């Protein structure tokens, strides 16, 4: 079961998680970071690295934050604004660099709405 980044990351983006991930599957958007559920090997190294506790395993995400489970996946399975195709299994955040865009859900997200 992959790990998921939820609301606490939005507009914080500490990035300590990226340095811990052995498979480089934590990708940078404009307001938050996203874990590719296809590439995540569920090692859990990222979870304690986050100073705002934004990361948890998908099955442990609180009910009010469930949308973030689907939304982490959407970042890779839907075409992001300005792109013709989905990122898919992109081969590593260092390969693609910061994407500079978010899913629609995150771009429009206001604290307390999820």
Interaction site with ligand F3S (CB under 6 A) = 3, 5, 9, 12-17, 20-21, 23, 25-26, 33, 35, 40-46, 49-50, 52, 54-55
Min separation Cβ 82 and ligand F3S, Å: 22
Q: Which of 56, 62, 30 is nearest to 42 (CA)?
A: 56
Nearer to ligand F3S by Cβ, of 31 and 66: the residue is 31
Nearer to ligand F3S by Cβ, of 84 and 95: the residue is 95
How many residues in the chain?
Answer: 114
Min separation Cβ 86 and ligand F3S, Å: 19
Nearer to ligand F3S by Cβ, of 20 and 66: the residue is 20
**What CA–CA distance (Å, rounded) separates 97 from 112?**
29
Strands 3-5, 55-57: pairing is antiparallel
CB 73 within 8 A of CB 37: yes
């Amino acid at each position: 079961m992959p790990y998921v980044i939820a609301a606490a990351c939005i507009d914080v983006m500490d990035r300590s998680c990226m340095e811990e991930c052995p498979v480089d599957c934590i990708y940078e958007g404009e307001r938050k970071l996203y874990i590719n559920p296809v590439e995540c090997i569920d090692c859990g190294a990222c979870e304690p690295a986050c100073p705002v506790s934004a990361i948890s395993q998908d099955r442990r995400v609180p009910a009010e934050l469930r949308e973030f489970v689907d939304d982490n996946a959407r970042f890779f399975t839907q075409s992001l604004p300005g792109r013709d195709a989905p990122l898919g299994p992109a081969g590593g955040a260092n390969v693609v660099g910061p994407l500079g865009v978010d899913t629609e859900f995150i771009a429009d997200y206001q604290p307390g709405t999820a």
